[in-house]
Each structure stands twice: as structure tokens, then as C-alpha cells.
Amino acid sequence: MVAIKPTDKKKKTRIGIVNVTGYAGAELARLLYRHPMVEITSVSGRSSAGKVLEEVFPHLASLKLTISANIDNVDLAFCALPHKESAPVVSDLLDSGTRVIDISADYRLKDPSSYQSWYGCSHPNPKLLTEAVYGLPELHRASIATARLVANPGCYSTSAILGIAPLAKQGMLSDAIIIDSKSGVSGAGRTLSLKTHYCEVNESVNAYALEGHRHLPEIEQELFGGVSTKPPITFVPHLIPMTRGILTTIYFRPKSGVLSGIDGVSELKSLYKEFYKGEHFVHIVEEPPHTKHTLGANNCLIYPTIDNRTGHIIIVSVIDNLVKGAAGQAIQNMNIMLGLPETTGLETIPIYP
């Protein structure tokens, strides 16, 4: 790792976005447009190369950018390609001296065999897996600050890990964990698919990947990596008929004798508030949050409680999958890498109604 000096406040950092034509890439462009310390100077999108960005996304007309086949001459690049396609591009960018934040899944898992198992192919550059920093700032801030490659977490993973981490890091989990997540359709990406066709998803909710979702190994790695005895996790994602948002509900029993009885709920909330004390984007709330409470913002809202009838702890964790679950978190990581306040360019409050 090479120590990175804080950005020269008089000179804006040149930013590139690989695959600006996807939902995450477009959201990066929207959020970075008003960032005071960076300038988007190069964007790529292979199927739209040569077009003005406004032709693809009229709402981004103010950027006045032309889409190229590749990005060049930038200080830091966001790579928003799909998994498998991202890995070689990231490797080339690093070889050219460009720092990279990868939004795909290609550098999130530390174990090459786990990557092969979940993504169906050998990793093209396994040495970079050990170097890449998992980009969840609330857990890895110090490592992100000096990294040249940050692997942005998955959207489901972000909501689940932030929801469970305070208890997992205290060693208070011993029983099986159930994670029930519901996501808007934008999480499936912009590529056309029958499964995300309007007539297929409208007025309908469905569970999928019941045999195991690819974000599960991220969750296990970040919560229990290095722990010999791990509580089993059942993770079931659902697709719901809305554009943005993830609502994750987590159920489990704590270790015997902790967080129980009349004072259990207040102790639980105090534990969460202490764990996330000083965090700008994680908020412990007093009522179960709605997905709309995070719409367009880089926040994660967490509501912890206890069902005293069963002894189960219930955690509700809500994010916007395209912001804290993708582009916003990537910019939060960028700010840390550049020595800037984490909130820079991310002060937007949620859209309502």
C-alpha cells in the first residue's frame, strides 16, 4: 500500500467512469457533477461510444461529455462494468497508475476459490484479491485511505452487514441468522431481461436465488472472516415492484443471557448507537424505516428491536441500492482515498414524497 497525500485543494482530481451507461455509472455522474473537488473528464460506454452523454441520459445534459470506448488521462477511475468484465479493465487501469474503485463483484472476495464457486470462472488476477480493500467505510476506513484498489460492496451486502455488524463484532451471535431482503428493480441493472420486464414485476413480489445469492459470501466474509465457528446464514432476496431501495430484515437469537428482558431493547439500541457513533451516513432510528426515507441519499437507516415473546432480535436496515448500495458509497470511498471529508458531494437529503 502507498500512502496517498490529501488532494491539492486548488486542483480538482480528474475522474473517469467506466461504463457510464449503466444505472450505477449514471448515478455516479449525477452525484459527482456537483462535487466541489473533482471533475469528470472521461467516461466510457462501449455500446454508446461516440455519442454525447445527453443522447443516452437527457437528465445528464449539464455534464457536456462525449462517451468514449475507453477512459484515459484520469487520476481515479470508477469501474461500473458487470462482474467478469470488470477484472481485466481494473488490472489495466492499475498498471497505468490510476487508482480504482470497482463497483462490480470482481475484487470483493478474498478467496479465489470462493470467487470461482460463486461466479463460475477462475479469477484472472488473484494477486489483486489480497490487495483490494473491501469498501465499507464504517468497517475499513483506515485501509481505504491508503488503498489504490477499493472493491465497492454489493447493495444487499451493505444493508445486511451494517445491520448485523455491531453484534457480530461483539461476538454476541451464536444461533442461525435469517436475512430477508427486498430490492427495487434497478438492482438488476439496465440490461434488458424478461425477469425485470414491467409486466413481469408490476403488482408482484418474488423470492429468488434461494439456493444462494452471490452477495452471501461477502456477508459471511465481512462478519465472520477468520472466525472458526460461524453461525449459519440463510439469505433470501426478493424483487419488489419499485425502482429503488432495499429493505433488509434480520432475525436471530443472541447468545444466552444477553440483551433480554425489559431492558434488552434499550441496551440493544445503545449498543448500536455507540458502534456507529460519529458515522455520517448510518443512523439508528426510533421507528421502522421506509425505503423512501433513503431515496436518493447515501444513508443507511437501522432500527434494532427485540421480540420478547420469542427472544429474537429483529434488525431493519434500509438503503437506496443505487446510492449507499453503489454510487454514493463509491464516492464516500473516493473522498477517503483523496483525504477529503466523507460527506463531500454527498450532503443530499432524501427525496420526499
Could you tell me if residue 218 is left (phi over 0), alpha (psi between -120 and 50 degrees) or otherwise beta? alpha
* Catalytic residue of the set 79, 121, 155, 300: 155
Beta-sheet pairing, 300-307 with 312-319: antiparallel
Round to whole Å and give the CA distance between 81 and 188. 13
Residues whose CB is less than 8 angstroms from the CB of residue 299 and which lie 6 or more positions away in sequence, other chains included: 281, 282, 283, 293, 319, 320, 324, 350
Round to whole Å and give the CA distance between 224 and 213. 17
User: Is the previous residue joined to 353 through a cis bond, with omega within 30 degrees of 0?
Assistant: yes
- Annotated active-site residue 199? The verdict is no
Signed CA dihedral, 43, 49, 50, 55: sign only? negative
Residue 217, CA atoms < 13 Å, CB-side half-sphere: 17
| Catalytic positions | 155
